[in-house]
Structure formats: structure tokens, C-alpha cells
Chain A
């Protein structure tokens, strides 16, 4: 019983270190802000309250809609996003699959390449 307790305690001890680190990081980031808020003089003006964007006045509504092309790129990204899910375990964990595995992965990559060529053929890679 006591062994289990010690085991669990040491197990959680490692996470405790991370938690302490997290708390310290938050304090570290918040302290200067708090000090500035306490010490700084508060004189709001019209110019001071404007949003600051690299010295240039910002134009338009920040809640504007994105062009639908962004979503098409996102969809294309999803296809290639999945690629690593298969390639990485094949390279690291599934070491015993040999030549058959190599051929299967090559076919997989070829199909992905095909989808890229298809996107190109459909003119989706051009930004209009």
C-alpha cells in the first residue's frame, strides 16, 4: 500500500514541477504589468485611446469576412496535414514492415502528389 503511495507520489511529483514552473511563468509575466498599472499616471486622451497598428491608422472593420479562397487553401492543407500522421509512425515505430511497407508508402505519397497535381490542373494554386 505504502509502495503504491510512494509510486503515485513520485509520478505526480514530476508534474508538480511543471505546475510550479507554470505558476512562476504567470507571475513573471503579470508582475511588470501590475507594477505599471499601479505606478503609471492615468491621463487618457483621444489620441491615446486609438488602436495602434505600427503607427498607421487601421482601416475597416476587424470582423471582416475572409475571401473564400482562404478556405480552399485550408482544405488543401488538410490533405497534406494527414500525410505526417502516416509517414512518421512508419519511419519510427513500424520498423518491421520491409519492402512491402516501402511500396505501400510510395503509393500513398503518389496519391498525395496526384491530389496536388489535380489542384494545380484545376487552377486552385493561383491567387486571383
Chain B
């Protein structure tokens, strides 16, 4: 079973590390580095695994597939997990791992995310999704003596469990009408006829559950509080890993299981409403925010809206789902760089309020420049990769005739400029509260250089991105 080797490796490593931590009690940093090594090994295995067929192989009776998108998302999730582990290592001693136990959960989460990337069955989907979600409940509330973290943990737990219940109910109705839990079989059972009422209801509940994962607007209520309260590295993981997981699941479920014309007529209007609301509300609600993590939470809600356009565009013009992949890459680079800066800077400035970041340029030029590049990229301003992402999404919307969504997207993106550039302005053109320099270790600086460098380089040279994406598409 070479296909599932990365998941097995990560889970086994987590089990071993848990026991080693309980009995030998090694230095937490050591466990962190072993975790990193394990994740890199999993990346290597994933890239080296050959893809048997051009479309997909489905061993074990269609429960699991390893196609190009699955491979792309696995590498995406593992890179995210590696960077998150790195941020945890670079972050504050008191705010993060006082115990090596912490690193077991990124490993388990990464295993669950990898499984999600190749699921072709609702049963595997549910189990893997819960592995990810339950690990996140623990991670969010990891600083269990901190009021904010506890509150964030409880909110995430209750709303997360609620969304799981909706998802399972939706799967139950889908199973009841079509008699199967496999996406391909469900698609076959639906055929070309109209959707029965029960199936429409099931689809609605499933979109509810997955909408919670991507934090699209009616289901976004948890995001600002949880993003603010969780440890910064975990916020980064949630905002990139958990969101991307929601998108691969939406693609698998909506394209494979609910891929008939009658099903499109049901879910395209729903997703269009979600996309429009997410873009508008995410970007407008971010404007008055004073807390940087909360601001990024609202901005991430807005980004979900942009990516949902790509999901819809694929139906009108096949092949345009690729814009979601491009957007996710840009989102990963910018968001993780921003959270790395926040994690390192909050060691010294003790907070995430935007006014505390005033004059960051004078206190640490590297951090300020990296955060500025990340924010400019998230805003989608030309010389960065974020512009390419926005361009491909808006291009997809225009090409497939989604004009209302296109114009709502443009308006929201313009509104987004205001708050992103407000933070940049505070960092460069405001007087600092105090002038103590903010230290950052060499490794952090090197990593920031790589992330910012890629953000700029791929912005100037989008052919590189196109090349990457062409590999995924083939």
C-alpha cells in the first residue's frame, strides 16, 4: 500500500512520539525537529509515489484515490504542517510548547488532512475530517490556563461539533436516497434525472458542514474568535490547512457525487450566495478591526469567497478550477509569512493590536518588510503573487459569465485594499510606541526571506506558477 504511506508514517510517528514524550521526557525542541523530519519524509514519499492512471486510481473499492489534485493537496497540507511546526518552534516559550506533546497534534492533523485529500467516500471523509477537527479542538485550547484560548476552544468545539452533526445528517440522507457512500456510486445513482427532495436536503446539510470548514459567510461566526484566541501557529494552520481541506472536499463532493445538471441547478445558486456574502462581509467587517489576528480572520473569510467563485466557474467552463489551486498557493505563502511575523513579533511586543505594530520598520526591518509583502500580496497588488491569484479568479469569473460575482469580487477586493494598506501604513509611517528592537533568529529570517522571495518572484514571473499548475492539471 504505497499510496497511503504518508498517512501511516505520520500516524505511527505521532504514536511513537507520544510514548517517548511520556516516559523519556526529552527536550521539546528535539521532538519538534523529529516532527519536522517526519513531515519532510512524508513530502518526499508523496512526491515519489507514481500516479498509476491519468485520471485516478481507486484502490480498496473506491474508498481512496491518488490523482494529481490529491497529490497537490497532500504536498500543500504537508508544507503547511511543516511551516506551522516551524512557527511553533520559533514562537514564544510560554505561549507554546511547554511540553513536547504539542507536536503530536500537528502530525495527526497532517495525517488527517492527507487522507482528506484523497478521499472518495463519505465514510473516509467523515473519519478523516473528524481526525482533523478533534486535533484542532485540542490545539486551539492548548494554552489551557489562558482565558482567551479556553474561550476560543469551547466556541470552536461547540460550533464544530454542530457542523459535524449537520454533515452526518446530510450524508445519511444522501446515503438513504442513493444507497451508497462512495462519490462515484452516488453520481451514478443520481444519473441525469431530477434530484429528489431528500437528496436536495442532504446536499444542503453537506454544504452547511463544509461551509463551516472554509468559514464561508453564514457559517463564519466561529472564525474571528477562534483565530484570535488560538496560539498563532495554530491560527496559521486553521486559516490555511483547514480551509484548503474544505475546498478539496467541496470539489470532490460537488464535482464527483453531485455532478449532474440537476444537481448543479441546486448547489450553484447556494454556493454563489455563499461566495458573494463571504467576499462582501469578510472584507467590510475587516475594516474596523484593531486586532491583527482578528483582521486576518475576516480577510480569510473574504478569501474563501474568492475561491468559491473558482469552484463555480469550473462548471460553466471546465478547467477553471485551476484558479482555486493558484489562489491557494498565493494564500499559503502570504498567510503563513504574516502569521510567522506575528508569532515572532508578539514575543517582544506582547500583543496583536495593530497600534502595537506602529513603527515596526524601525524596530525590525526584516519583520516589517515581510509582513508588508505578505499583506500586499493578500490585497492582490501587482508585483506580488497575490495579484496573479486574484487575476486568475476574476478571469475565471469573467470567462464563465459570472458577471454579478465578478463585480461583487472587484468591489470587495477594492475594500480590502483599505485595511491591508492601513496596517502597512502603521508599520512604516507611524511613530513606534517604544524603540526596542525586536529580535528574530537567523532561521526565522531565512524562512521569511524564502516566503517573501517566492511571493515576489512568482509575482514577477508567473510562468513558474503556470508551469506548476500545468503539472497538476495533466
- Let me know if chains A and B touch directly in the complex, using CB atoms closer than 8 Å: yes
The answer to the question of B158 belonging to the interface, with a C-beta cut-off of 8 Å to chain A, is no
Q: Is the CB of B15 within 8 A of A121?
A: no
User: Nearest Cβ distance between residue A91 and chain B, in whole angstroms?
Assistant: 21
User: Nearest Cβ distance between residue A98 and chain B, in whole angstroms?
Assistant: 14
Q: Is the CB of A111 within 8 A of B15?
A: yes
Within A54-69, which residues are at the interface with B (CB < 8 Å)? none
Chain A 99-121 interface 0/1 with B at a Cβ cutoff of 8 Å (1 = within): 00000000000010010011001
A122 vs B99: C-alpha distance in the bound complex, in angstroms?
A: 12
The answer to the question of B41 belonging to the interface, with a C-beta cut-off of 8 Å to chain A, is no
A122 vs B22: C-alpha distance in the bound complex, in angstroms?
A: 6
In the bound complex, residues from chain B placing their C-beta under 8 Å from that of A117 are 19, 22
In the bound complex, residues from chain B placing their C-beta under 8 Å from that of A114 are 15, 18-19
A40 vs B328: C-alpha distance in the bound complex, in angstroms?
A: 81
Within B4-51, which residues are at the interface with A (CB < 8 Å)? 15, 18-19, 22-23
The CB with the most chain A CB atoms within 10 A, among B15, B19, B22, B23, is that of: B22
A24 vs B15: C-alpha distance in the bound complex, in angstroms?
A: 55
In the bound complex, residues from chain B placing their C-beta under 8 Å from that of A122 are 22
Smallest Cβ-Cβ distance to A111: which chain B residue: B15
A121 vs B15: C-alpha distance in the bound complex, in angstroms?
A: 14
A91 vs B19: C-alpha distance in the bound complex, in angstroms?
A: 29
In the bound complex, residues from chain B placing their C-beta under 8 Å from that of A111 are 15
A128 vs B23: C-alpha distance in the bound complex, in angstroms?
A: 20
A40 vs B311: C-alpha distance in the bound complex, in angstroms?
A: 79
In the bound complex, residues from chain A placing their C-beta under 8 Å from that of B19 are 114, 117-118, 121
In the bound complex, residues from chain A placing their C-beta under 8 Å from that of B15 are 111, 114
What's the dominant secondary structure at chain A's contact region?
A: helix
Total A residues in contact with B, Cβ cutoff 8 Å:
6
Smallest Cβ-Cβ distance to A119: which chain B residue: B22
User: Nearest Cβ distance between residue B31 and chain A, in whole angstroms?
Assistant: 14
Smallest Cβ-Cβ distance to B25: which chain A residue: A121
Within A63-96, which residues are at the interface with B (CB < 8 Å)? none
A118 vs B99: C-alpha distance in the bound complex, in angstroms?
A: 14
User: Nearest Cβ distance between residue B104 and chain A, in whole angstroms?
Assistant: 10
User: Nearest Cβ distance between residue B126 and chain A, in whole angstroms?
Assistant: 15
In the bound complex, residues from chain A placing their C-beta under 8 Å from that of B22 are 117-118, 121-122
The CB with the most chain B CB atoms within 10 A, among A114, A117, A121, is that of: A121
User: Nearest Cβ distance between residue A43 and chain B, in whole angstroms?
Assistant: 55
In the bound complex, residues from chain A placing their C-beta under 8 Å from that of B23 are 121
A122 vs B23: C-alpha distance in the bound complex, in angstroms?
A: 8
In the bound complex, residues from chain B placing their C-beta under 8 Å from that of A121 are 19, 22-23
A122 vs B19: C-alpha distance in the bound complex, in angstroms?
A: 10
User: Nearest Cβ distance between residue B141 and chain A, in whole angstroms?
Assistant: 15
User: Nearest Cβ distance between residue A120 and chain B, in whole angstroms?
Assistant: 8
User: Nearest Cβ distance between residue B218 and chain A, in whole angstroms?
Assistant: 33
User: Nearest Cβ distance between residue A72 and chain B, in whole angstroms?
Assistant: 14
In the bound complex, residues from chain B placing their C-beta under 8 Å from that of A118 are 18-19, 22
User: Nearest Cβ distance between residue B26 and chain A, in whole angstroms?
Assistant: 13
A114 vs B23: C-alpha distance in the bound complex, in angstroms?
A: 12
A101 vs B178: C-alpha distance in the bound complex, in angstroms?
A: 27
User: Nearest Cβ distance between residue A57 and chain B, in whole angstroms?
Assistant: 41
A118 vs B24: C-alpha distance in the bound complex, in angstroms?
A: 12
Smallest Cβ-Cβ distance to B20: which chain A residue: A121
Smallest Cβ-Cβ distance to A122: which chain B residue: B22
A122 vs B15: C-alpha distance in the bound complex, in angstroms?
A: 15
Smallest Cβ-Cβ distance to B8: which chain A residue: A107
A117 vs B23: C-alpha distance in the bound complex, in angstroms?
A: 10
A121 vs B18: C-alpha distance in the bound complex, in angstroms?
A: 10
A21 vs B217: C-alpha distance in the bound complex, in angstroms?
A: 55
User: Nearest Cβ distance between residue A97 and chain B, in whole angstroms?
Assistant: 12
A64 vs B398: C-alpha distance in the bound complex, in angstroms?
A: 67
Smallest Cβ-Cβ distance to A114: which chain B residue: B15
Smallest Cβ-Cβ distance to A118: which chain B residue: B22
User: Nearest Cβ distance between residue A70 and chain B, in whole angstroms?
Assistant: 19
User: Nearest Cβ distance between residue A112 and chain B, in whole angstroms?
Assistant: 11
A46 vs B22: C-alpha distance in the bound complex, in angstroms?
A: 57
Smallest Cβ-Cβ distance to B16: which chain A residue: A114
A114 vs B22: C-alpha distance in the bound complex, in angstroms?
A: 11
A114 vs B20: C-alpha distance in the bound complex, in angstroms?
A: 11
User: Nearest Cβ distance between residue A116 and chain B, in whole angstroms?
Assistant: 11
User: Nearest Cβ distance between residue B4 and chain A, in whole angstroms?
Assistant: 13
Smallest Cβ-Cβ distance to B11: which chain A residue: A111
A41 vs B23: C-alpha distance in the bound complex, in angstroms?
A: 67
User: Nearest Cβ distance between residue A76 and chain B, in whole angstroms?
Assistant: 14
A111 vs B104: C-alpha distance in the bound complex, in angstroms?
A: 14
User: Nearest Cβ distance between residue A104 and chain B, in whole angstroms?
Assistant: 12
A121 vs B23: C-alpha distance in the bound complex, in angstroms?
A: 6
Smallest Cβ-Cβ distance to B18: which chain A residue: A118
A82 vs B23: C-alpha distance in the bound complex, in angstroms?
A: 26
A121 vs B99: C-alpha distance in the bound complex, in angstroms?
A: 14
A71 vs B15: C-alpha distance in the bound complex, in angstroms?
A: 24
In the bound complex, residues from chain A placing their C-beta under 8 Å from that of B18 are 114, 118
Sort A-B residue pairs by CB-CB distance and give the 7 closest, nearest first.
A121-B22, A121-B23, A118-B22, A122-B22, A114-B15, A118-B18, A118-B19
Give 11 A-B pairs besides A114-B15, A118-B19 with Cβ atoms closer than 8 angstroms: A111-B15, A114-B18, A114-B19, A117-B19, A117-B22, A118-B18, A118-B22, A121-B19, A121-B22, A121-B23, A122-B22
Q: Could you write out 13 A-B pairs with CB less than 8 Å apart?
A: A111-B15, A114-B15, A114-B18, A114-B19, A117-B19, A117-B22, A118-B18, A118-B19, A118-B22, A121-B19, A121-B22, A121-B23, A122-B22
> B-side interface residues toward A, CB under 8 Å?
15, 18-19, 22-23
